[in-house]
Amino acid sequence: MIITEKKPLNEIFDMLSGAKNVVVLGCSGCASVCETGGEVQVNELCNKLSSYRKNAKGFVSVKGICRVSDTNEFLAGILRNLKVKVDAFVVLSCGSGVQVVSEIISDVDVFPGLNSKRCSSGVKNDIISEKCIGCGDCILHLTGGICPFTLCPKNKFNGPCGDAVQGRCKTLEIASGENINNINNINIDCVWSVIYKKLKERKKENLINKLFKLKPRNWSSMNAPQRRYL
Ligand code: SF4
Ligand code: SF4
């Protein structure tokens, strides 16, 4: 189970500053149990957004939003029935669920509504890929929905190191002394290259500057043991 906490409202409003039509997605998995992403919390956030003159609609997945195939269907159903163009999705789930939505819907902003406090992973093509190390202060809204902490072998938060060659991360290869293609057939692109390409495609490269100007992180939010009191 992934422990999550609500992001401060002002952070969510800041992410949504240019968005009018917003869809809030809840997760009936761990976030419902934590009382951070169930129906009540989705309605609560929609009401708050509406009172700030946003058109907000909420939906809660029947299964955990980190389950790729179920979420594919869930989102297809929502998009089929919506009459307006969506400007942004706010996902009330762990960072893994936010990234699953962001991978499926790559041409609309997908923002995190919660902070994840413990590890999580998503499943795609029978492979479980770690997506979120539960840093407790989610920044996916600044990175095109891609987590640098989790996907960079050095957990680099402040831009790329010097190990990439033509966009490919060579860190694991250097560390193991083997060609990475021979190790579990893993192909790893430098996550910073992937983030930059995605932001550039969406003409949002300026978010990188915003990311680099963040206050130093409070790593104590990752300390164990974690407890979520209901
Ligand atoms: S920034 Fe990454 S590690 Fe932190 S909560 Fe978001 S997805 Fe998880
Ligand atoms: S090349 Fe990129 S992904 Fe690899 S360790 Fe350096 S910053 Fe991280």
Q: Kindly report the average pLDDT of the chain as a whole number.
A: 87
CA of 93 to the centre of ligand 1 (A): 11
Confidence of residue 122 (pLDDT cuts 50, 70, 90): low
Summary count for the chain: helices (H), strands (E): 9, 10
What pLDDT does 179 receive? Answer: 59
Pairwise CA distance, residues 222 & 230, whole Å: 19
Chain-centroid distance of CA 172 in Å reads 24
Mean pLDDT lowest among 21-30, 120-129, 135-144, 159-168 = 120-129
Contact criterion met (CB below 8 Å) for 60 and 26: yes
Which of 147, 150, 152 to probe ligand 2 with, by most ligand atoms within 8 A of CB?
152
Mean pLDDT lowest among 43-52, 164-173, 180-189, 204-213 = 180-189
Confidence of residue 222 (pLDDT cuts 50, 70, 90): confident
Residues 6+ apart with CB under 8 A from 126: none
Omega of the bond prior to 225 within 30 degrees of 0, cis? yes
Tell me: pLDDT of 183 over 50: no
Taking the model in full, what pTM does it have? 0.82
Confidence of residue 1 (pLDDT cuts 50, 70, 90): confident
Give, using CA atoms, the residue closest to atom 2 of ligand 2. 190
| Distances, alpha carbon 84 to alpha carbons 56, 78, 87, 202, in Å | 11, 11, 9, 20
Contact criterion met (CB below 8 Å) for 168 and 179: no
Tell me: pLDDT of 59 over 70: yes
